Structure 1
Amino acid sequence: MDDVEITDVDDGDMPNKVEKAHHLHNQDLSSLSEAAAELLSQYGWHLLVATVLVSLLIQYLMKRFSQSEDTNSTTPQPQQDVASIVRNQEAMEAARRRMQEELDAKAAIFKEKQKQQEEEKRRQKIEIWESMQQGKSYKGSKKLSETTEEANSSTSALKPKTDRKPLRSADYNPLSGDGGGTCSWRPGRRGPSAGG
């Protein structure tokens, strides 16, 4: 439909009234409220969720900002922690050095004992060789070396020697049936059992 403006010639006030009515029609908020109602009806839940998420995001950012300000204002605290960490590391290093020195001292003592034992063994071997060169028996020096070896090595223990005699004669064979006295073994009869 075409917009046609009708004006009355007799009445000169009428065009002004039409303009005023047209002007009033633009100021009417009913179309705006209808558009808002339609927007809410279509996207109401989406807008509600978006609003809640934005408010939570703002609260989270405010908390992080306030925490960062608190940590910036308390910078001497980490410096104290660094100093205590350095002291602890120095104490641990000193303890390690002491333990290493103790271990080195024990190792030196052990090496010295090993060297003395080797020197003693070498001396005994020389004595045995010299006694053999002179034609003497070396059993006496051998007994001395055995006693020193027993004293030096605490892990070796003497086992008592037992003299075992055979219980039967050497020609005894349990499978042959000979030499067993009155008892002898014979294999059983082959074949089906005699059950009935």
Structure 2
Amino acid sequence: MEADDEASEIKTERNLDNQDLSFLQTYATGFLAEYGWYVLFVCVGIYLLIQHLNKNRRNQEQSATASTVGHDPASVVRRQEALEAARQRMQEELNAKAAEYREKQQKLEEEKRRQKIEMWESMKEGKSYKGNQKFSQNTEEASSSTVLKPKTDKKPLRNSGFNPLSGEGGGTCTWRPGRRGPSAGG
């Protein structure tokens, strides 16, 4: 019996040594026939991902080298001073505009107060303030404006009075839109 076991072991070893890889070809062609497009898309995706990562790595390396070169203490101080000067100029411009706006507002309030006082004075005297105001405006307009052209009356393009959308000129029958809302059913 022992001899038979040894003979069977030798036969199986010999069979494994003599086999070629033709069975792999059938499995590979079946796999590619079934999943070939998926494999292609995955390979293209992996290639694009590797290219993207390489580009990002190169950019990071370049920025790291540029940042180490650009961190000269004197240049940093100059840049900060320039930023501070620019901020100071902008703040001064803003303050000047704010002061100008406050002056305008004070002038307007003073003018309104003066007009109210004039109106009160004229009402005490029994005069109509609005009438005086209109009169003063008319004299100012007459002195400052040029001769105005009279308005021309525009005539309609068509002389016939028929317009189907307006309901005019169509005789006795006119169309009216129906009621809005649901029908009056029970």
Query: For this structure pair, what is the TM-score category when the shorter chain's length is used for normalisation?
Result: 0.3 to 0.5
Asked which structure has the greater CA Rg, the reply is: 1
TM-score computed with the length of structure 1 as normaliser:
0.36
TM-score computed with the length of structure 2 as normaliser:
0.37
The structure with higher relative contact order (CA 8 Å, sep 6+) is: 1
